[in-house]
Amino acid sequence: MYAALLRGVNVGGSRKLPMAGLRTLIQGLGHGDVRTYLQSGQAVFTADHGDEDSLAAELTRAIETEFGFTCDVLVREHAYLRAVMEACPFPAAELEAKQVHVTYFSAPVGSERFAEVDPDAYLPEEFRLGDRALYLYAPDGLGRSKLAEALSRPRLLKGLVATTRNWNTVVKLVEMTEG
C-alpha cells in the first residue's frame, strides 16, 4: 500500500483540493482502497502498476488536469514509511507530536546540503538526516522554529521535492498503509 503526500494544498486559502475529489481522482486512475487523512493532502491507496516515482508523476499530472494547479507529490510505500518512523533519532513517544516532524525528500540528501546551518546556533532545536528524510525536533513547535526556517531555505532544497509532516501524521500514515 502507498501513501501520497501532497505539498502545499489546502493551506492558507489557496490551492484548494477537496479530499473527496482527491479520492475520486485516485480511484479514477485505477487505484484501490483509497482513503484520505486530514485536509492537508495525504491519501493512501493500492496500485497494481508503477513505482513510487511513476505514481507520483501520474498523480501530479492528474491533479493539474483536474484541479488546475501544480502540486508536488511524493508517493511512498508502507515499508519505507515504517522504516522512517522506526529510525527516528528523537524519543518521539515521550514528546508531544508537535515537537517532532519529518520532512520527506524526493531524493537522498547528504549532510553537505545543510553544511551552512550551524546546529549549535539553534539549540535546543535539532535535526538529523535519514533515508530521504530529515527529522526535526522543535520543542516549541514548527511554527516557532528558527531551525525549520533555516533548513527550508530555497537554495538548500534546490532540485528536491520536500514536504513535512508532524509525528501524529507520520505514525498515522504507517498505520493506514499496513496491508
Span 142-159, mean pLDDT? 93
pLDDT average, residue stretch 28-54:
91
* Rounded Cα–Cα distance for residues 22 and 28 (Å): 10
* pLDDT, mean over the chain: 93
pLDDT of 12 reads: 58
Residues of the chain with CATH 3.30.70.1280: 2-78
Say what the pTM is: 0.93
**Higher-confidence position of 8 and 141:** 141
Lookup result for grid cell 525536533: 137
User: Average pLDDT in the 135-139 region?
Assistant: 97
Q: Please report which confidence band the pLDDT of residue 91 belongs to, taking 50, 70 and 90 as the band edges.
A: very high
φ/ψ (deg, to 5) at 35: -140, 150
Closest by CA position to 110, among listed 154, 156, 155, 153: 156
Describe the chain by its helix, strand, coil percentages, rounded to 5: 40, 25, 35
Q: Which CATH architecture has domain 2-78?
A: 2-Layer Sandwich (3.30)
∠ Cα 168 158 52 (to 5°): 55
What phi and psi values does residue 160 have, to the nearest 5 degrees? -115, 150
Q: Do 49 and 30 touch, CB atoms closer than 8 A?
A: yes
Q: Say which CATH topology domain 89-166 has.
A: Alpha-Beta Plaits (3.30.70)
* Nearest partner of 34 among 75, 4, 11, 10, judged by Cα: 4
